A and B are shown apart, each in its own frame.
Chain A
Amino acid sequence: MQNFTRRALVKGGTALGAASALSGPALLEWAKAWAQAAPWKPEKGAKLSMLRWKYFVQAEDDAFVKLIQAYTQATGVQVDISRESYEDVQPKASVAANTGTGPDLFWGLYSLPHLFPQKCLDVTDVADYLGKQHGGWVDSAVKYGKSGNKWIAVPICYSGALINYRLEASKKAGFSKFPTKTDEFLEYAKAMKAQGTPGGFALGHASGDGNTWVHWALWTHNGQVVDANDKVTINSPETVKALEFCKTLYGHMIPGTASWNDASNNKAFLAKEIHWTNNGISIYVAAQNSAKDVAEDMDHAYFPVGPAGKPTELHLMYPILAMTYTKFPQACKSLMAFMLASENFNPWIQSAKGYLTHCLNEFDKNPVWTADPKTTPYRDVAKRSLTAGGLGSVGEKAATAIADFVLLDMFANYCTGREDAKGAIAIAERQLRRIYR
């Protein structure tokens, strides 16, 4: 029953759009034509294996499998797909890069290709081709995809983390729209808590939700983990300001956020316990299926902007890379290009219902962003996102700092009163120095 509604939704969205999804024989025909015209011809007898992050939305995976099947039929290249939780792709890829055996293609999280740039197949031609065809890459995608002058990965999509909030409760608190400035946001949180409809951000070890909001909080107060030369600059008055902001905000949150993991805010929001939080679009998608009243009474908004004066959000990017050890580099390249061809990418991103956002400007036009105005904010996620590590490099060090929850612990230490500002910063600085040495 749930599936039926989801599919009906996707179909509805497709019918509205200009780019209608191809299916069955039409898809195969198009795929064959594409394979004829594409600049990369797969090697004879090529066989590929791919390790990808595990889907959040089943419909997305279905659409992806369909796309791969069309590719196999059109080119004769078999593709084995295996799936791992997105945190586990990185260790596997690192081992594969180190030992020189394993899947040909890895589709993982933001800085993955930068952990071993010399082991990634040069895909500059694919990226240039796609950029030209589809209206150009967004800035953050270029930073993630390129190492020096070479593209070492093709950025496929983002998964956005934005504000989710309830409409009626916000109106009652005197806010017809979600605040766009950080000081307004504090008033909003205070008013919301005062009327018994609080919200909250995760301060536990939540890899996704926790890391995204604390990076926003630091950056929007002009704080930085490192400068452009990867020198640790966390110990700054700006960081102190960010800490103070978060402590005030924490006081206006629902109690218990220090123990939240990635799933906590989803279930609390759906159960009407919290009225604002940060999340992907999954709460909204789930609400449409199981809590229609919540879905109708909620909307999404960008993170408020602070002293930095510009968006400073952190969203998760999913690049795909091919290993240099692959025996079929042409097949890898052709598959990457195939995935992002409009006829494939449009229906695929539609099936993700806003969970995933494109990195190529052309797909702004995809009907998924306009069919339901509540998904529209997620359209701009790629354009608004900064890269992991902020001003610094997007490599292994930035990834480690995030994976080790350095910032998250710093904020949690201060907000929960375990450490004063100086102590919290000192602990973080010490650890960052080691990571960035």
Chain B
Amino acid sequence: MAIALDQSRTKREYRDVNAWTRLKANSNWLGFWFMLPAAAFLILFLAYPLGLGVWLSFTDARLGREGVFVGIENYDFMWDDTVFWLSVFNTLLYTGVASIIKFAVGLYLALLLNENLPFKAIIRAIVLIPFIVPTVLSAIAFWWLYDPQFSIISWSLKKMGLITQNIDFLGDVWNARWSVIFANIWRGVPFIAITLLAGLQTVSPSLYEAATIDGATTWQRFRHITYPLLTPIIAVVMTFSVLFTFTDFQLIWVMTRGGPVNATHLMATFSYQRAIMSGYLGEGAAISTAMIPFLLAAIMVSWFGLQRRKWQQGGDND
């Protein structure tokens, strides 16, 4: 009897060591628990809304009313919707042109600010202003600058005798597109400039000294020292910049509401108009969901195209 009892006890202890105690000591398992709060946050606030949005795009939900599953009906309608394709075109144009110019101007500004200028701190602070001003405010300022009747740009040009009639900034299809792109560039440059500046400051001066001694020109120093050392920062900054530009909403909504005749509707503003203004949540969700592949592609390009890992790990930069 006593032996039997003993036996069973040892057996149980043996089993305990095998499963639970081991698990308790397992650092992976512990790591899982530590990660859980963060994962819960991500699931609750990121994955769930995203999943819900995608689900809504397959239903005919209206504002304040649940919908039923309708399959790809919303996408089917969008496929033949000229306004939708126009908004895709606008978004790509807006993102493409604005991002490239923002990068060029931002990099130039960063290089300039990295030089030894008088009043460096103040100038750097001033550069940040467009980024600090709330978007809605700057959008309203631009709306006035572009006003068909009261534009100060038109007014000045008229006074100088260069034009006789006000420029129709936001009323003409292409004028409107360039105008909103310009506003976006103005707003986005500081972010890129300051971030790249931070990157520039991590580049060791001794590299430049060595290059100068070797007789490298300014361009060579930029091409072979600054640019390669800056690429990881560029990758991050441009990813963010493209994402922000692609999903821009406030500037457009305040200045044109997607007009004239939908020429400046971005996918984000178009989705809002369909989902919230008109109440077609399902269709609006489908338009937003259609942005996901584009965003993924943008991330992939900047991640794999610009992020060269080899040299970071000590290898050659091919």
Chain A residues in the interface with B (C-beta under 8 A) = 87, 90-91, 93-99, 203-205, 254-261, 264, 267-268, 271, 273-274, 396, 400, 403-405, 409, 412-413, 416, 418, 427, 430, 434
A96 to B165, CA, bound (A): 50
- Docked-complex contact B278 and A416, CB < 8 angstroms: no
- Supposing A97-B64, A259-B176 touch, asked if A205 and B278 sit within 8 A by C-beta, the answer is no
Interface of A is mostly: helix
- Docked-complex contact B150 and A271, CB < 8 angstroms: yes
Q: In angstroms, how far is the closest chain B Cβ from the Cβ of A69?
A: 32
Q: In angstroms, how far is the closest chain A Cβ from the Cβ of B178?
A: 13
How many A-B contacts if CB must be within 8 Å?
107
Number of interface residues of B (CB under 8 A): 38
A93 to B176, CA, bound (A): 35
Q: Which residue of the partner chain A has the closest CB to B148?
A: A256
- Scoring B80, B149, B176 by chain A CB atoms within 10 A of each residue's CB, the highest score goes to B149
- Supposing A258-B171, A409-B262 touch, asked if A94 and B148 sit within 8 A by C-beta, the answer is no
A273 to B148, CA, bound (A): 10
Please, could you name 12 A-B residue pairs with CB atoms under 8 Å apart, sorted by A? Answer: A94-B64, A98-B64, A204-B171, A205-B257, A259-B168, A259-B176, A259-B260, A267-B150, A273-B150, A404-B273, A404-B274, A427-B82
A400 to B62, CA, bound (A): 11
Q: Is B271 an interface residue (CB 8 A)?
A: no
Q: Which residue of the partner chain B has the closest CB to A96?
A: B64
Q: In angstroms, how far is the closest chain A Cβ from the Cβ of B158?
A: 13
Q: Is B126 an interface residue (CB 8 A)?
A: no
Q: Which residue of the partner chain A has the closest CB to B279?
A: A400
- Residue from B148, B176, B279 within 8 A of A260 (CB atoms): B148
Interface of B is mostly: loop
Q: In angstroms, how far is the closest chain A Cβ from the Cβ of B68?
A: 14
Q: In angstroms, how far is the closest chain B Cβ from the Cβ of A236?
A: 21
A99 to B274, CA, bound (A): 22
Q: Which residue of the partner chain A has the closest CB to B257?
A: A205
- Residue from A87, A98, A205, A434 within 8 A of B259 (CB atoms): A205
- Supposing A403-B279, A404-B274, A418-B261 touch, asked if A255 and B65 sit within 8 A by C-beta, the answer is no
Q: Is B114 an interface residue (CB 8 A)?
A: no
Q: Is B258 an interface residue (CB 8 A)?
A: yes
- Docked-complex contact A91 and B276, CB < 8 angstroms: yes
- Residue from B165, B259, B274, B280 within 8 A of A258 (CB atoms): B259
Contacts of A205 in B (CB 8 A): 256-259
- Per-residue A-contact encoding for B152-163, CB less than 8 Å = 1, 0 else: 000000000000
- Supposing A204-B260, A258-B259, A409-B261 touch, asked if A95 and B64 sit within 8 A by C-beta, the answer is yes
Q: Is B173 an interface residue (CB 8 A)?
A: yes
6 further A-B contacts with Cβ under 8 Å, apart from A205-B257, A412-B259, are: A254-B148, A260-B171, A273-B149, A274-B149, A404-B274, A409-B262
A255 to B166, CA, bound (A): 8
Q: In angstroms, how far is the closest chain A Cβ from the Cβ of B25?
A: 49
Q: Which residue of the partner chain B has the closest CB to A116?
A: B64
Contacts of B81 in A (CB 8 A): 430
A416 to B262, CA, bound (A): 12
- Docked-complex contact A204 and B278, CB < 8 angstroms: no
Q: Is B236 an interface residue (CB 8 A)?
A: no
Q: Which residue of the partner chain A has the closest CB to B64?
A: A94
Identify which of residues 52-110 in chain B touch chain A, using a CB-to-CB cut-off of 8 Å. 62-66, 77, 80-83
- Docked-complex contact B65 and A94, CB < 8 angstroms: yes
- Supposing A204-B257, A416-B173, A427-B83 touch, asked if A264 and B148 sit within 8 A by C-beta, the answer is yes
Q: Is B43 an interface residue (CB 8 A)?
A: no
- Docked-complex contact B277 and A403, CB < 8 angstroms: yes
- Per-residue A-contact encoding for B135-175, CB less than 8 Å = 1, 0 else: 00000000000111110000000000000011011111100
A405 to B280, CA, bound (A): 14
